[in-house]
Chain A
Amino acid sequence: MKDARVIEMDEVAIRFSGDSGDGMQLTGTLFSDASALYGNDISTFPDYPSEIRAPQGTVGGVSGFQVQFGKKEVTTPGDFAHVLVAMNPAAVKANARFMNPGGTIVYDSDSFTEKNLKKAGFKTDDPFKECNLEDFTIIAVPVTSLTQEGLKGFGLDNKSILRSKNMFSLGLVCWMFSRPLDYIEEFIHNKFARKPVIVDANIKALHDGYNYGMNLQHLTPTYIVHSADIEKGTYRNINGNQATAWGLLAAAEKSGLELFLGSYPITPATDILIALSERKDLGVKTFQAEDEIAGISSAIGAAFAGDLAVTTTSGPGLALKSEAIGLAVMAELPLVIVNVQRGGPSTGLPTKTEQSDLLQALYGRNGESPVVVLAAGTPSDCFYYAFMAAKIALERMVPVILLTDGFLGNGSEPWRIPEMKEMPSILPRFAKDANSFQAYNRDPNSLAREWAVPGMKGFEHRIGGLEKNITGNVSHDPENHQVNTRIREEKVQKVKDLIPELELFGDIEGDVLVVGWGGTYGHLISAAGELRKEGKRVSHAHFFYIKPLPGNSAGIFQRFKKIVVCELNQGQFASYLRDKIPGFKYYQINKMKGLPFTVNEIVDGVKKLMEE
Chain B
Amino acid sequence: MAELEYTIKDFKSENEVRWCPGCGDYAIMNAIQRTMAGLGVPKENFAVISGIGCSSRFPYYMNTFGFHTIHGRASAVASGVKMANPSLNVWVVTGDGDALAIGGNHFIHTVRRNMDLNIVLFNNRIYGLTKGQYSPTSERGFISKTSPFGTIEDPFQPGQLVIGSRGTFFARGIDSNVKLGETIFKAAAKHKGTSVIEVFQNCVIYNMGVYSDITDPKFRADRQLILEQGKPMLFGADHEKGIVMENGRLKVATIGENGVAVDDILIHDAFETDPALHLALINMSLPEFPVALGVIRSVSAPVYDEEMEKQITHIQKSRKNTCVDDLLNSGNTWEISGN
- A residues sitting closer than 8 Å to B (CB atoms) are 33, 36-37, 39, 183, 229-237, 246, 249-250, 253, 258, 260, 262, 279-283, 285, 287, 289-291, 293-294, 297-307, 309, 323-324, 326-327, 331, 416-420, 453-466, 473-474
Contact = CB atoms under 8 A, between A and B. Distances in A.
Interface stretch (B136-144, B220-228, B254-262, B308-316): B308-316
Contacts of B13: 462
Most buried by A among B63, B106, B109, B332: B332
B81 A454 contact: yes
A441 B66 CA distance: 17
Contacts of B45: 454-455
The 7 closest A-B pairs by CB, nearest first: A301-B80, A464-B68, A298-B80, A297-B76, A232-B338, A305-B84, A281-B319
A469 to B, nearest CB: 11
Contact of A287 (B52, B73, B83, B334): B83
A247 to B, nearest CB: 10
B333 A236 contact: yes
Contacts of A37: 332, 334
B324 A246 contact: yes
B283 interface: no
Given A420-B325, A460-B64, A260 B84 contact: yes
Contacts of A300: 69, 77, 80
6 contacts: A236-B334, A260-B80, A280-B315, A285-B308, A454-B65, A463-B68
Interface string B202-234: 000000000000000000000000000000000
Nearest to B11: A460
A237 B65 CA distance: 45
Contact of B70 (A232, A324, A453): A324
Most buried by B among A39, A232, A465, A473: A465
Nearest to B77: A301
B80 A287 contact: yes
Most buried by B among A231, A281, A287, A454: A454
Contacts of A287: 79-80, 83
A151 to B, nearest CB: 27
B328 A418 contact: yes
Nearest to A293: B73
Nearest to A235: B334
Contact of A454 (B44, B69, B76, B79): B44
Contacts of A298: 76-77, 79-80, 83
Q: Which secondary structure characterizes the binding site on chain B?
A: mixed
Contact of A280 (B76, B79, B311, B336): B311
A197 to B, nearest CB: 25
Nearest to B47: A454
A289 B76 contact: yes
A395 B335 CA distance: 35
Contact of B321 (A231, A281, A458): A281
B275 interface: no
A37 B335 CA distance: 9
Contact of A307 (B49, B62, B84, B315): B84
Contacts of A326: 70
Contacts of A246: 324, 327-328
Interface in B75-91: 76-85, 87-88
B320 interface: yes
Contacts of A294: 73, 76, 79, 105-106, 109
